[in-house]
Amino acid sequence: MPLSADQALEIEALRSQTQPTLRPTVPALEEILYSAIPILDHGFLRVVDYMGDDAAVVQAARVSYGKGTKKVSEDRGLIQYLMRHRHSTPFEMCEIKLHVKLPIFVARQWIRHRTANVNEYSARYSILDREFYVPSPAQLGVQSQVNRQGRGDVLEGDEAAEVMKLLRDDSEQVYAHYQKMMNVDESGAVLDEQRKGLARELARMNLTLNYYTQWYWKTDLLNLLNFLSLRADPHAQYEIRVYAEAMLDIVRRWVPWTYEAFEQYRLKGVNLSAKGWEVVKGLIDGKPPDQAASGLSKREWRELMALLGREE
């Protein structure tokens, strides 16, 4: 199950308490505070703590730009201006801490964003649970022929069934060997008093990358948005994208004006090269597009035409 019994009790206890505070709070985020959002088959994502809101972004910006006016519409407009012109430091004034349970191979992608404070579950100290990720049949894509990092058509029939069986069987077998090497059962009790068992830090190396790990991940809003601009993209790997999509909803609850600006100018916005912009201006002027004359490579040209909805 996504949550252990102890974690479920901890969350229930935390959500039953109320804390008087003078700090700004966000009701929409408080609604889901501590609660686990299920992801994949055994994973989850939950907000553990946060600091700041849209007003904190505005407050920080006004240190730089002067007091100005304080109308709500102009605060919202200021955030849009900051996002549009990539004035990033005011967004660093907000922070959030997440508790995440995720497959190890997803964690290894995630950790490449070296812009957060992370503390991960220790398999040297504790025994990992027998929980591993198996994709749904709809996610069993073959290797893409045009993208070395992507998937193509979905496997079907006997081939898909064989892959699913291999994934499950291999994962079950390595966990059985993991327990055997440590000489413990699933509860951690010793199996054979006559044997010592291998150290946990060594036994773990036999586990496959689809086993689940957990960590606490704390970052500021700017770096969270940078993470989401890459991992919530349709081209991102499905298994990390589903976490990013859940995080988008968290951002929308937490800082709705910032989310609105992020969606408008980054998530659904388009960046063009100088040559690409010349092609667009030519189209506006009624000039037929020409790849050879544009100076763009064939790949750049295909990407630009796709952005403009003019695929051949």
Q: Helix/strand/coil (H, E, C) string of the chain? A: CCCCHHHHHHHHHHHCCCCCCCCCCCHHHHCCCCCCEEECCCEEEEEEEEECCHHHHHHHHHHHHCCCCCCHHHHHHHHHHHHHCCCCHHHHHCEEEEEEEEEHHHHHHHCCCCCCEEEECCCCCCCCCCCECCCCHHHCEEECCCCCCCEEEECCHHHHHHHHHHHHHHHHHHHHHHHHHHCECCCCCECCCCCCCCCHHHHHHHCCCCEEEEEEEEEEHHHHHHHHHHHCCCCCCHHHHHHHHHHHHHHHHHCHHHHHHHHHHHHCCCCCCHHHHHHHHHHHCCCCCCHHHHCCCHHHHHHHHHHCCCCC
Judge whether 39 lies within some domain. yes
Query: In this predicted structure, what is the pLDDT of residue 232?
Result: 96
Active site residue 231: yes
- The boundaries of the domain holding residue 5 are 1-132+211-269
Judge whether 180 lies within some domain. yes
Same domain, 281 and 299: yes
Same domain, 145 and 199: yes
For residue 79, what is the domain's CATH number? 3.30.1360.170
Query: In this predicted structure, what is the pLDDT of residue 162?
Result: 94
Query: In this predicted structure, what is the pLDDT of residue 171?
Result: 96
Strand partners, 213: 102
Same domain, 19 and 112: yes
Same domain, 110 and 242: yes
Same domain, 71 and 155: no
Q: Which of 161, 181, 209 is the last residue of a domain?
A: 209
Same domain, 200 and 222: no
Query: In this predicted structure, what is the pLDDT of residue 246?
Result: 98
Judge whether 176 lies within some domain. yes
Judge whether 13 lies within some domain. yes
- The total of structural domains in the chain comes to 3
| pLDDT tens by residue, the chain, 312 residues | 578 888 888 888 888 888 888 888 999 999 999 999 999 999 999 999 999 999 999 999 988 655 554 566 789 999 999 999 999 999 999 999 999 999 999 999 999 999 999 999 999 999 999 999 999 989 988 876 666 667 778 888 899 999 999 999 999 999 999 999 999 988 888 988 999 999 999 999 999 999 999 999 999 999 999 999 999 998 899 999 999 999 999 999 999 999 999 999 999 998 899 999 999 999 999 998 889 999 999 999 999 998 888 876
Judge whether 312 lies within some domain. no
Query: In this predicted structure, what is the pLDDT of residue 142?
Result: 81
Same domain, 57 and 103: yes
Q: Active site residue: 231, 253, 266, 302, which one?
A: 231
